[in-house]
């Protein structure tokens, strides 16, 4: 069955939420806390090593019930079932969406066109495992007989952001191999990486689902040319591997067919780090850690699939986000991990959320007249506190934020951990309570300065407190956001798994590129024509 095609604004729940919004929009959360001692407990989900407190939100139990009703009315349960059963829910591209199969146990049964895909997945996982072990323990050697020291992941978008974020997040678990990522077609990127490499000891992993992406192929060719300055063509087979669905183009590039790690069209690029796209992760931290990442994600999948919506973490987070996006008209959401290891998390999530849910046509093909995808941004705390928190605390915009923290540190320095955690807890408390004029006066502030020091408070946050950053907890955490994206797409009645919006720019860039080398000119607007000629004048 395809996904249901229900306009959310036509549901009873939506209408109730609209009316209810008017009733609660000016209420202050701190009054709700004062009135109900059990509020924090009622709005907290404890699951495995996750403690998710969503009580600091501008919602009451009534709000929550309407949001849950909305999930029922848009037939979320059936949609989840359709996704996990391998139905063609990516209708516009005619594909199933089964990144969840990649992290399922071997005896699971995920079917595409009636065929169980688990044997193929496990064949590739075995290949990743064997290859990783050979590279890590030095059995596999470069063309001069030396073991590999450096890995270069060449890819962009989903073929870069996921692996790069995870390798960074799991630095603590890393082995001796140094991992580099080359993505931008800006030659500075590849050139700076080249400066750090020795061709004799570098392994190149070209990651491209389509193997047609301009940036990736340009960078791969540049690196191959550089490599061939010191090595022969035969050496390419020892130093270049590829992850792709496009096996013939990979072979034409000169890669040995044994060095190809296949993937499938039912894995979306931005959801692909669980496939062989995660090869760089496996190489960087070892296959066992890679596998723990997958099993963590699988635990979150089971939770998402089976848990009641009321205590279902991704569903609850998605509903809260819809509440702010569509009723409070909040334009963006911040994600603030109190972990330097999650430095790249917001950037990674931007593709997941904005490429998936940045749509304005619904599943019936009609133009949408309500808001869809949220803008997502963020930086790790405490740095973010010294950069943009001023605006969250005292600006004019409502910015709901997820605060992510870890109860235990990996470094073991309790002084740092306590200081970090005190900031983590203090910020959501400050955002909730604010500071009244009376409190500011009581501090002895001069009267004319008082208004500037008042904090309105009432700023919504979710606190996601995880026991410890490990491959498994990271897997759960990433999968949590993946499912949140899916739930929001279902509610907004959009197709979350296509990305046609990135195509037009690519097509025009190719046309313009051709014009650089000829006198032919396409029909451009005057502004673009001037800019193009200005560039040509210098090059
Ligand atoms: O331009 C967007 C996009 O198509 C992403 O969806 C994808 O992750 C990225 O480009 C890279 O694509 P590929 O893996 O095919 O090179």
Q: Which residue has the tokens 């740095």?
A: 383
For residue 91, report the distance from its CA to the centre of ligand 1, in Å.
18
Ligand 1 pocket, 216 CB below 6 A? yes
Ligand 1 geometric centre to CA of 350 (Å): 14
Do 175 and 194 belong to one domain?
A: yes
pLDDT, tens digit, 9 for 90 and up, residues 114-165:
999 999 999 999 999 999 999 999 999 999 999 999 999 999 999 999 999 9
Specify if 299 maps to a domain. Answer: no
Residue 99 contacts residue 482 (beta carbons within 8 Å):
yes
Give the span between the Cα atoms of 190 and 220, in whole angstroms.
9
The number of the ligand 1 atom at minimal distance from the alpha carbon of 272 is: 8
442 and 461 both lie in a single domain: yes
Cα 245 to ligand 1 centroid, rounded to whole Å: 12
How many of the other CB atoms lie within 10 Å of CB of 48? 15
Query: Going by DSSP bridges, is the β-strand pair 202-207/260-262 parallel, antiparallel, or unpaired?
Result: unpaired
Residue 47 lies in a domain: yes
Residue 499 CB–ligand 1 contact under 6 Å: yes
Residue minimizing CA distance to atom 9 of ligand 1: 157
Distances (CA, A) of 290 to 222, 281, 283, 295, 404: 29, 7, 9, 9, 22
Q: Give the pLDDT of residue 518.
A: 83
Domain around 336: 8-73+307-492
Q: Tell whether 390 and 519 lie within a shared domain.
A: no
What is the predicted pLDDT for the residue at 519? 79
Rg (CA), the chain: 25
37-92 confidence digits (pLDDT tens): 999 999 999 999 999 999 999 999 999 999 999 999 999 999 999 999 999 999 99
Point out the ligand 1 atom lying closest to the alpha carbon of residue 277.
14
Give the nearest ligand 1 atom to 502 CA. Answer: 1
**Would you name the residues annotated as active-site residues?**
355, 386, 506
CATH number of domain containing 364: 3.40.50.10490
> 127 and 51 in one domain?
no
Domain identity same for 127 and 255: yes
Query: Is the beta carbon of 269 within 6 A of some atom in ligand 1?
Result: yes
Which of 290, 323, 358 finishes a domain?
A: 290
Ligand 1, from 99, 154, 156: best to mutate by most atoms within 8 Å of Cβ? 156
Q: What is the pTM of this model?
A: 0.98
130 and 182, same domain (yes or no): yes
Contacts within 8 Å (CB) and 24+ apart, 417-426: 420/338, 420/381, 420/382, 421/338, 423/338, 423/381, 423/382, 423/385, 424/338, 424/381
- pLDDT < 50 positions in the chain: none
What was the pLDDT predicted at 522? 73
Taking the centre of ligand 1 as the mean of its atom positions, its distance from the CA of residue 262, in whole angstroms, is 16
- Ligand 1, from 95, 99, 158: best to mutate by most atoms within 8 Å of Cβ? 158
- Separation of 182 CA from ligand 1 center, angstroms? 14
**Ligand 1 centroid, distance to 269 Cα (angstroms):** 6
Q: Could you tell me if the CB of 276 is within 6 A of ligand 1?
A: no
Q: How far is CA 181 from CA 228, 352, 369, 476, in A?
A: 20, 19, 40, 24
Together in a domain, 420 and 339: yes
| Length of the chain in terms of residues written | 539
In this structure, the answer to whether residues 229 and 359 fall within a common structural domain is no
Provide the number of structural domains found in the chain.
3
Q: Are strands 50-53 and 461-466 parallel, antiparallel or unpaired?
A: antiparallel
Q: What span, in angstroms and rounded, lies between the C-alpha atoms of 434 and 89?
A: 44
Please report whether residue 140 resides in a domain: yes
- Same domain assignment for residues 183 and 151: yes
270 CB near ligand 1 (under 6 Å): yes
Q: What pLDDT, on the 0 to 100 scale, is given for residue 521?
A: 74
H or E element: which one contains 334? strand 332-337
Q: Is 242 in the pocket of ligand 1 (CB under 6 A)?
A: no
Per-residue pLDDT at 65? 98
Residues 333 and 476 in one domain: yes
Q: Is the CB of 417 under 6 A from ligand 1?
A: no
Q: Could you give the angle at the alpha carbon of 52 between the alpha carbons of 46 and 53, nearest 5°?
A: 115
pLDDT value, residue 408: 98
Q: Does any domain span residue 301?
A: no
Give the three-state DSSP class for 243.
strand
The CA 213 to ligand 1 mean position distance, Å, reads 7
Strand partners, 153: 181, 205
Half-sphere exposure for 263 (CA within 13 Å, toward CB): 30
| Cα separation, 360 vs 348, whole angstroms | 22
CA dist 123 and 105 (Å) reads 13
Output the CA–CA distances (angstroms, integers) from residue 299 to 178, 245, 293, 505, in the order listed: 30, 27, 10, 38
Task: Indicate if 390 and 478 belong to the same structural domain.
Answer: yes
Nearest of 201, 207, 183, 198 to residue 259 by alpha carbon: 207
Torsion sign, CA atoms 482, 484, 486, 489 = negative
196 assigned to some structural domain: yes
């Amino acid at each position: 069955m395809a996904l249901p095609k229900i306009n959310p604004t036509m549901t009873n729940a939506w209408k109730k939420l609209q009316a209810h919004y008017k009733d609660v929009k000016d209420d202050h959360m701190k009054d709700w806390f004062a009135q109900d001692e059990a509020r924090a407990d009622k709005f907290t989900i404890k699951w495995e090593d996750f403690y998710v407190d969503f009580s600091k939100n501008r919602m009451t139990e009534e709000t929550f019930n309407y949001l849950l009703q909305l999930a029922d009315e848009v037939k979320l349960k059936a949609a989840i079932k359709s996704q996990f059963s391998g139905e063609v829910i990516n209708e516009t591209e005619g594909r199933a969406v089964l990144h969840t199969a990649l992290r399922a146990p071997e005896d699971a049964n995920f079917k595409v066109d009636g065929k169980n895909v688990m044997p193929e997945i496990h064949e590739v996982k075995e290949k990743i495992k064997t290859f990783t072990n050979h590279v890590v323990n030095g059995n596999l050697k470069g063309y001069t007989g030396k073991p590999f020291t450096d890995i270069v992941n060449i890819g962009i978008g989903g073929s870069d952001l996921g692996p790069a974020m995870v390798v960074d997040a799991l630095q603590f678990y890393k082995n001796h191999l140094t991992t580099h990522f080359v993505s931008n077609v800006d030659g500075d990127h590849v050139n700076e990486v080249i400066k750090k490499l020795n061709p004799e000891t570098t392994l190149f992993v070209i990651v491209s689902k389509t193997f047609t992406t301009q940036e990736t192929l340009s960078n791969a060719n540049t690196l191959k040319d550089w490599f061939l300055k010191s090595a022969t063509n035969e050496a390419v087979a020892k130093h270049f591997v590829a992850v792709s669905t496009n096996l013939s183009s990979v072979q034409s590039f000169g890669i040995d067919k044994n060095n190809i790690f296949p993937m499938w069209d039912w894995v979306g690029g931005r959801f692909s780090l669980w496939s062989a796209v995660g090869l760089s992760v496996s190489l960087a931290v070892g296959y066992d850690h890679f596998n723990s990442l997958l099993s963590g994600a699988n635990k979150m999948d089971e939770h998402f699939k089976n848990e009641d919506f009321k205590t279902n973490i991704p569903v609850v987070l998605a509903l809260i986000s819809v509440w702010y996006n569509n009723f409070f008209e909040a334009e963006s959401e911040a994600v603030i991990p109190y972990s330097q290891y999650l430095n790249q998390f917001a950037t990674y999530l931007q593709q997941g959320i904005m490429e998936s849910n940045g749509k304005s046509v619904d599943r019936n093909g009609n133009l949408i007249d309500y808001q869809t995808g949220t803008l997502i941004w963020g930086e790790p705390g405490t740095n973010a506190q010294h950069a943009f928190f001023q605006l969250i605390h005292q600006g004019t915009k409502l910015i709901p934020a997820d605060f992510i923290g870890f109860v235990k540190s990996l470094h073991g320095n309790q002084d740092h951990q306590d200081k970090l955690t005190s900031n983590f807890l203090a910020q959501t408390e400050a955002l909730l309570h604010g500071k009244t004029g009376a409190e500011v006066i009581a501090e002895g502030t001069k009267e004319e300065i008082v208004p500037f020091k008042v904090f309105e408070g009432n700023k919504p946050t979710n606190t996601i407190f995880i026991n410890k950053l490990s491959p498994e907890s990271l897997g759960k955490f990433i999968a949590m956001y993946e499912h949140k994206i899916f739930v929001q797409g279902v509610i907004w009645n959009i197709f979350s798994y296509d990305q046609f919006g990135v195509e037009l720019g690519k097509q025009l860039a190719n046309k313009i590129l051709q014009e650089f080398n000829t006198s032919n000119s396409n029909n451009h607007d005057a502004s673009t024509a001037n800019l193009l000629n200005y560039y040509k004048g210098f090059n």
